[in-house]
Chains A and B, each alone.
Chain A
Amino acid sequence: MDFRLTPEAQEFYDEVCAFFDEHLDAETIAREERTGDGFDRAFHEALAERGWVAADWPKKFGGQERDAHEMYVLDQEFLRRGCPRNTSVTTGLVGNTLRVVGTERQKRELLPGIASGRIVISLGYSEPQAGSDVAAAQTRARREGDHWRIDGQKMFTTGAHLTDYIFLLARSDASGGKRDGLTMFLVPTDSEGFEAQAVPTLGGERTNLSFYSGVRVPDWLRVGEVDGGWDVMKVALSLEQGVGFSGSAETLHRRALEWAERAGRLDDPLVRERLARTALNAEVGKLLEQRAVWMTAEGRPMRAEGPMCKLFTSEALIEDAGSLLDMLGPDALESGGGPTSPAAAAVEFFQRYAQGTAIYAGTSEIMRSLIAEQGLGLPRSRSG
């Protein structure tokens, strides 16, 4: 039993910190706080230059074969520093899905571009009428010779105004069961008929409503079998397991503690208890995440361990950010842009940001159902 970072991850962590110190300047963070883009091309290219956009990939695809422990270190540093991150996460996720289910041509033409930072990708799963029930997607895909014609709308297509492709879930056959007639595509965002419209959010992140009006997609950009989209989704969704936000909880605690010290309030028992609670929850969240990372690295099969990370860290972040905002009293009435704003404003930011963490990448309710089914063996609670 050992709770330290592996020696390789520790060494990598030092490199990652040095890299962030050098490349993540105040201007980049300020721009992110202003735009909520979740993506900064210059930073992303610097990351790619270093070989870290797809650091876990085989060398032949431009990766460094980093293990799960090292990837965790990198991911958490994005969160701790409030670095634009969303598009890096979605791009990596799609790249990893392609590595499993992609054609040789897709691997050859797309993976090196992803690893080198030239290609970035958004997720197009949710629709205005299909959120948690993602298989209820209605966006249509019709075959037209060696092309497909896509018509419909996608909601929460984060990054779509900047990315090169949308990893799109579409209905290719409406006659069968909900999960039977789905097909997945990579839709180029420079296609005619594609449009992204900004959807601002409470957490400051910009997401999008994206429109597809007769968008033509060549068949070679279809991912997986025709009508076999749900199998691809299963792979993609499984790669999201083990997502957690303990890095955000750590930063929240640090910034709130900074407020307490500066305001001379660190002797107040109520302040102390609220801060200690946040530190405790951050530690539990980190341990749940590290367990999932360790199981992934060891190739141990996971059941409920992945959803537990997401559920615990997002729910705790909501509770703690609310508690710490209350702790500030009248000082709380100061709005900020992000995690690096002055301490009180940073806490206020986290209170808004936290709400999204329990919604995207699977709501807490979906996570609880997965834990109940996979961890406790309870019957499935969602019909259809």
Chain B
Amino acid sequence: MDLALSEEQELIRETFAGFFSNESSLELVRECEPLGFSADLWKKFAETGALGMGVPESLGGGGTGLIEMALVAEECGRQLAPVPFVESAVAARLLARLEAPDALEAALEDAAPLALALRLVDDSPGQRIPAGAVAGSVLALRGGALVRVSRPPGWEPDCPKNHGSAPIASWPLAEAPGEVLAEGERARAEFDTAVEEWKLLTAAALVGLGRESVRLGAEYAKGREQFGAPIGSYQGIAHPLADCATAVDGAQLLVWEAVWAREDEPERAPALASMAFAFAAESAARAATVSLHTHGGYGFSLEYDVQLYFRRARAWPLVWDDPRRELQRLADRLYGPSRS
């Protein structure tokens, strides 16, 4: 067991913590509602090279692993940054694995984000695609082939307004022309890998969201006085926050372990990924809920920032699925598929 980050990893974490603190204020987050996207921030973010950070250097990327991406995702979540880092970075890695250099180069240079349709097109043609509202192209598994569908000229997606300000949208995936990148077993395997990576990085973002929720609650509880004392000195306020801090720490360790296991203990990796997603989702939702309640009536008002965290905490994982259904997937991965 060694939890130390390398110097390079520490640097990445600090760099992006600074970047999002400076560039993604909560005022900006509010301005970008309800769409949940800032083109200006996206441009600055793309200039850092973060979109291709997990792409091999030989293909023009940064050559880092998934753990470094998880550190960036966590910082992204902490500031609720209105940029689809997780979707674009995962899709860029998928293009790299599929050896689609032209598509990858275009994606890394393109101004528009990339997106990944998380469900099979044949089963869910109208699925709401994370980052679909702002993406220039979507990668999808359609009829057994991995295809890249470019945004049809002049077509505007229908973006449902949602409580998490997630830039989701349906695309005409079933009928739109698409460039075939891979077929057969390979297409399926690479698609599954991308979905797993999306889940892990989303879990990392939820850890950041959860940790900042707890911090906001604790700060408020230190300053707010009632009955002649800071409310944080009351166990009814302090103890639920302690439970949330514990859960968020556990979620972070679980995400890191699940990412680490993909290379070093691949037989345990699928179960750990499901654990990480389910637990990060639950922990973030609980942290945001407790933090909101800690703020009392102010937490219920739109003026205080905790509501921004509260609304996203459940929305982000629901782009994929009910966290309890992920527990059922975990059971499949631990005990084999159910026969009933």
Binding site for B on A (CB under 8 A): 1-6, 69, 257, 266-269, 272-273, 275-277, 279-280, 283-285, 287-288, 290-291, 293-294, 298, 304-305, 308, 311-312, 315, 365, 367-369, 371-372, 375-381
B75 near A: Cβ within 8 Å? no
B242 and A368 within 8 A (CB): yes
Which of A6, A305, A368, A380 is packed against the most chain B CB atoms within 10 Å? A368
B328 near A: Cβ within 8 Å? yes
Which B253-310 residues have C-beta < 8 A from chain A?
253-254, 256-257, 260-261, 264-265, 271-272, 275, 278-279
B222 near A: Cβ within 8 Å? yes
B253 and A4 within 8 A (CB): no
B67 near A: Cβ within 8 Å? yes
Q: CA A267 – CA B241 in complex, angstroms?
A: 37
A276 and B238 within 8 A (CB): no
**Chain B residues in 8 Å Cβ range of A371:** 242, 245-246
> Can you list 21 pairs linking A and B with CB atoms under 8 Å apart?
A1-B256, A269-B328, A272-B331, A272-B332, A275-B335, A277-B327, A279-B275, A280-B278, A284-B254, A288-B246, A291-B1, A291-B253, A312-B247, A367-B242, A368-B235, A368-B243, A369-B238, A372-B239, A376-B232, A378-B232, A379-B229
**Contacts A279-B334, A379-B233 hold; do A6 and B1 have CB atoms under 8 A apart?**
yes
**Chain A residues in 8 Å Cβ range of B238:** 368-369, 372, 376, 378, 381
- Among residues of A, the one whose C-beta sits closest to the C-beta of B278 is A280
B2 near A: Cβ within 8 Å? yes
**Chain B residues in 8 Å Cβ range of A377:** 218, 222
Cβ-closest 3 pairs across A and B: A272-B331, A371-B242, A372-B238
A365 and B235 within 8 A (CB): yes
Binding site of A, secondary structure by majority: helix, strand, loop or mixed? helix
Q: CA A380 – CA B241 in complex, angstroms?
A: 14
Of A266, A268, A280, A378, the residue contacting B330 (CB under 8 A) is A280
Which of A275, A293, A378 is packed against the most chain B CB atoms within 10 Å? A378
Binding site of B, secondary structure by majority: helix, strand, loop or mixed? helix
Which of B218, B233, B278, B324 is packed against the most chain A CB atoms within 10 Å? B233
Binding site for A on B (CB under 8 A): 1-6, 9, 67, 214, 218, 221-222, 229-230, 232-235, 238-239, 241-243, 245-247, 249-251, 253-254, 256-257, 260-261, 264-265, 271-272, 275, 278-279, 324, 327-328, 330-332, 334-335, 338-340
**Contacts A372-B241, A378-B222 hold; do A293 and B334 have CB atoms under 8 A apart?**
no
B235 and A276 within 8 A (CB): no
**Chain A residues in 8 Å Cβ range of B234:** 381
* A/B pair count, beta carbons within 8 Å: 158
**Contacts A1-B5, A272-B331, A273-B327 hold; do A379 and B230 have CB atoms under 8 A apart?**
yes
B272 and A272 within 8 A (CB): no
Q: CA A380 – CA B222 in complex, angstroms?
A: 11
Q: CA A266 – CA B339 in complex, angstroms?
A: 9
Of B253, B335, B338, the residue contacting A288 (CB under 8 A) is B253
A378 and B275 within 8 A (CB): no
**Chain B residues in 8 Å Cβ range of A298:** 4
Extra inter-chain contacts (8) besides given A267-B338, A304-B246, A312-B247, CB under 8 Å: A5-B1, A267-B339, A280-B275, A288-B246, A290-B1, A304-B245, A368-B235, A376-B232
Which of B247, B261, B335 is packed against the most chain A CB atoms within 10 Å? B335
**Contacts A267-B338, A284-B279, A381-B234 hold; do A276 and B214 have CB atoms under 8 A apart?**
no
Which of B239, B254, B324 is packed against the most chain A CB atoms within 10 Å? B239
Interchain nearest-CB distance for A311 vs B (Å): 6
**Contacts A267-B340, A372-B238, A379-B233 hold; do A1 and B245 have CB atoms under 8 A apart?**
no
Interchain nearest-CB distance for B333 vs A (Å): 9
